[in-house]
A and B are shown apart, each in its own frame.
Chain A
Amino acid sequence: MKKILAASALALGLGVSATAFAEPVKVGLITTLSGGGAGLGVDARDGFMLAIKLSGATDIEVVTEDDAMKPELAVQIADKMIQSDKVDVLTGIIWSNLAMAVVPNAVAQGKFYLSPNAGPSPLAGAKCDKNYFNVAYQNDNFHEAAGNYAQTEGIKKMFILAPNYPAGTDSLNGFKRFYKGELVGEVYTKLGQTDYAAEIAQIRASGADSVFFFLPGGMGIAFMKQYAQSGVEIPVMGPGFSFSQDVLGAIGDAALGAKNTASWSPDLDNARNKEFVTAFKAEYNRLPSIYAAQAFDTGSLIAAVAAKTDVKDADAFRAALEAADFQSVRGKFKFNTNHHPIQDFYVREVVKDADGVLTNKIIATSFTDHEDAYAKDCKM
């Protein structure tokens, strides 16, 4: 009996020492896999899983759940993942209203949250947290880049449009921060709205030189199709979300030539991006969207950090995340003091690739090493 006990104690001891360095990391991926926003969530999930697969890591376990784009559901899932699945890291949320509901609670319980998309301004500023990292952007960034582009292009009168939710107000604020011309219209629509006849009529009557709109997912598809049919000839521009790969197919040729801004594009010239785009096409038989690219970076970062540090040692894990020593599809990657990226933003144009598929091509750089406007309010 004594022998057996000793043997098992020894085995346990060995087991512990053997795994002490590569403690498995459990990741909870909460994203939108059903309903109107599912295209975005599916791309984020697929990008994330591809990164884990390519990293070759065997000790990362991912639990995936669908939030159906509902904040209350996302909160329940996060609680369940923390309490019964015992996850170490949470990620995956696309929508800012869901992130605002989940993130503060999760980081308060000592869990890490890495955002692959949503970057609401409070979490970048006054409500920032040492365990919250945003691998994508701060919400205002793409829109700031678009505002900067409109300003440098010398566009005199703009009409701007976004949905009425945290990322929508961040969007228009970001645009206005860099665009100093005249705003002939500023309209907030309902989140999930699909008929834009009333807004298009206002655009027609406004006499604008250009229209800036931020409408991710199905909202943008509906807007662009209706706009193309309305006979209004004013050129449109937007953040990368409005012309992302997930919606281009459904918008069709109406999107051709539209300018949009993003921190990434499928044609961005670096080895890691080429590897990502090729692998994504081979694995899922479609071109990746910006959501897939950001989630891929999130997955790569977790894999790189987990290979070096033990997730149970929160301080070491956090320090490794802050160092962000991983290969990004964006070429270079660095976190600011508020755990949001400092990165370049490009102006892209919708074109047809060699196979006749609509996609984006970089035509200019809007910002180099751009920081968000809220970092100074973050006291960590």
Chain B
Amino acid sequence: MQTALLIEQLLNGIQFGVMLFLMAAGLTLIFGVMGLINLAHGSLYMVGAFACAWVAAATGSFWLGLLASLVAAAAAGAIVEMTVIRRLYGRDHLDQVLATFALILIFSEATRWVFGSFPLYLNIPPLLGGAVALPGGVHYPLYRLAIIGVGLAVALGLYLLISRTRLGMRIRAGESDREMIGALGVDIRTLYTIVFALGAALAGLAGAMVGALQSVQVGMGEPVLILAFVVIVIGGIGSIKGAFVGALLVGITDTMGRLLLPQMLAAIIGPAQAAGIGAALASMLIYIVMALILAVRPKGLFAAQA
């Protein structure tokens, strides 16, 4: 039974990590290419979830909702980039943080205005419902396996996009020298909008997939945003590979910590206190890991540029 539990928790950790990767990939791309700190990334995650829940409720199809989440988040991202974000590239990080924080408030209140304060209903499509038996006596929800699959596919797709395509080449060029590729005649404004919309679409996709699993409500993006920042700091800002490794590290550390820390403490101080102290320590664990990694590698695991 104990091995089955460990395997299940490992899968949980990977699933959580993969979901974080979808958030962190957009965040790190936007920071890497445009040098912009986008606090409103969590709002795009929320936009995706609400679009999915609304369309799924109206049409009865989760899949149409999933498509809507991609379109809505990408569109919201593109509009925000063209109207607000574009004015922030030349400014320092404090102005960017201030403006994108304002965007969080605007998005949250607008969503509350349109959809109300109560959580929306969004359920898993029947096709992916229930649990499947895996080798080793493990039962695991099919939907979570699907999230792992989608996350890995997106990671592979992003890798190919960045290393094999012309767009990817421009993104890499933009990361190393923004002024130079503008001077070489690349339409940098369109490139920025595309990268921003791509990041937004990934966040929206994550929001929709997780919304079906958790609850679709205003403010759902901010807790994830904090973890996504932890991920890109650990992975090295601007690096997709770093985001992937960092996301899995955070996901697995957090999940395993929540299981193992209370159990380990219980052997020392008795189960009653261990439950409370262990839970408190487990929620600190990823930040401790981040601090340790930064102490050894101040620029993160895979720093994008020297």
Interface residues of chain A, those whose CB is within 8 Å of chain B, are 33-36, 38-39, 41-42, 164, 169, 186-190, 192, 194-195, 197-199, 201-202, 204-205, 218, 221-222, 225-226, 229-231, 246-247, 249-250, 252
A-B contact pairs, 22 of them (CB 8 A): A38-B112, A39-B217, A186-B275, A188-B275, A188-B276, A190-B282, A195-B12, A198-B255, A198-B259, A202-B5, A205-B5, A218-B215, A221-B119, A221-B214, A221-B215, A229-B143, A230-B139, A230-B141, A231-B130, A231-B131, A250-B121, A250-B215
Contacts of B4 in A (CB 8 A): 205
How far, in whole Å, are A124 and B144 apart by their CA atoms in the complex?
43
One of B165-173, B218-226, B298-306 at the interface: B218-226
Q: Please tell me which one of the listed residues B9, B215, B258, B259 contacts residue A222 in the complex, with CB atoms under 8 A apart.
A: B215
- Interface band, chain B: 35 or more
Min CB–CB distance A232 → chain B (angstroms):
8
Instruction: Kindly list the 7 A-B residue pairs having the minimum CB-CB distance in the complex, ordered from nearest.
Output: A231-B131, A221-B215, A222-B214, A197-B12, A38-B117, A188-B279, A250-B119
B229 within 8 A of A: no
Contacts of B16 in A (CB 8 A): 195, 197
Q: Which residues of chain A are within 8 angstroms of B102 by Cβ–Cβ distance? A: none
Partner of A197, one of B120, B223, B255: B255
Answer yes or no: B18 CB below 8 A from chain A CBs.
no
Q: Is the CB of A229 within 8 A of B130?
A: yes
* Chain A contacts for B215, CB-based, 8 A: 194, 218, 221-222, 225, 250
Contact A195 B214 (CB under 8 A): yes
Contact B139 A231 (CB under 8 A): yes
A205-B137 Cα distance, complex, nearest whole Å: 11
Q: Which residue of A lies closest to B16 (CB)?
A: A195
Known pairs A36-B219, A188-B275; A218 contacts B117 (CB<8 A): no
Chain A residue numbers with a CB within 8 Å of B182 are: none
Q: In chain B between 202 and 222, which residues have their CB closer than 8 angstroms to a CB of chain A?
A: 210, 212-220
Select which of B123, B143, B144, B276 is within 8 A of A164 by beta carbon.
B276
B118 touches A164 (CB 8 A): no
Q: With A197-B16, A201-B8, A201-B9 in contact, do A187 and B279 touch (Cβ < 8 Å)?
A: yes
Is there a chain A Cβ closer than 8 Å to B60's Cβ?
no
Complex Cα gap A190–B279 (Å):
7
* Complex contacts, B282 vs chain A, CB 8 Å: 190
Chain B residue at minimal CB-CB distance from A251: B121
Residue of B16, B120, B123, B144 with highest tally of chain A CB at under 10 A: B123
Report yes or no: A190 in contact with B283, Cβ–Cβ below 8 A: yes
Q: Given contacts A201-B5, A226-B213, A229-B130, is CB(A169)–CB(B117) below 8 Å? A: no
B233 to chain A, nearest CB (A): 20
Residues of B101-127 contacting chain A, CB below 8 A: 108-109, 112, 117-121, 123-124
Answer yes or no: B84 CB below 8 A from chain A CBs: no
A-contact 0/1 string along B259-291, CB 8 Å cutoff: 100100000000110011011101100000000
Q: Let me know if B184 is at the binding interface, CB within 8 A.
A: no
Q: B295 on the interface (CB 8 Å rule)?
A: no
Q: Are B214 and A218 closer than 8 Å at their CB atoms?
A: yes
Query: A225–B112 Cα gap in the complex (Å)?
Result: 23
CB-based contact B271/A186 at 8 Å: yes
Asked if B218 and A38 make an inter-chain contact with CB atoms under 8 angstroms apart, the answer reads yes
Contacts A38-B218, A225-B213 given; indicate if A169 touches B276 (C-beta within 8 A).
yes
Q: With A201-B9, A202-B259 as given contacts, are A194 and B214 in contact (CB-CB < 8 Å)?
A: yes
Q: Within 8 Å CB of B223, what residues of A?
A: 192, 194
